[in-house]
Amino acid sequence: MIRNFVWFSRFCEGLCLSLLFVDVGGCLRVLVTGGAGFIGSHTVDRLLAEGFEVIVLDNLRSGSVDNIRRHVGCKGLHFVRGDIRDVELVRSLMGDVDCVVHLAALVSVPESFKDPALTFDINVNGTLNLLRACVDFNVDRFVYASSCAVYGNAEKLPIEEDAPAK
């Protein structure tokens, strides 16, 4: 059973990263899916700065190795190019992981309309694959991030965290 499941619907620089460390306190090795993306690479920066060992799993569909290039060769960073839907790959990475920070997703709204099946496969089946692997390997800390797209078009800014999802 996953005992610590954290869902951030918004990443505010510093605030959510600080909250993230409260919830993953005591972890030594963290798997960051989507770690070569914008938010993922900043999360990787912070984890490495805090002394965590980080495994980045990213298919580079929207992320870029350039975002984490400054850490290449750095002790504590392992980069794996792959997909969260690859059951065997995910299971092979889960053995020594203490925590998963799940940031991988197909986030483009226009792309989701163009290919809803692919969006579902990546965002739902990929996440389910990670959760199942966590259960199988007793990884009980899982951080999931979403985007403000869950709130629809904002009627007022800033969007409050208790705003209804649409």
Using the 8-state DSSP alphabet, how is residue 105 labeled?
Answer: -
Q: How far is CA 27 from the centre of its chain?
A: 16
Do the domain assignments include residue 144?
Answer: no
Average pLDDT over residues 76-86: 95
The residue with greater pLDDT, 104 or 4, is: 104
Tell me, what's the pLDDT at 134? 95
Do the domain assignments include residue 145?
Answer: no
pTM of the model: 0.80
Residues 26-42: tens digit of each pLDDT? 568 999 999 999 889 99
pLDDT band at 130 (very low <50, low <70, confident <90, very high): very high
Average pLDDT over residues 130-137: 96
Do the domain assignments include residue 28?
Answer: yes
Torsional class of 138: left (φ above 0), alpha (ψ -120 to 50), beta (otherwise): left
Please report, for the chain, how many H helices and E strands are present, in that order. 6, 6
pLDDT band at 4 (very low <50, low <70, confident <90, very high): very low
Least confident among 15-19, 98-102, 106-110, 114-118: 15-19
Do the domain assignments include residue 152?
Answer: no
- What phi and psi, each to the nearest 5 degrees, are found at residue 144? -120, 135
Counting the structural domains of the chain, the total is 1
Amino acid in the structure at residue 81: R
The domain that contains 75 carries what CATH number? 3.40.50.720
Q: Which domain holds residue 119?
A: 4-137
Do the domain assignments include residue 84?
Answer: yes
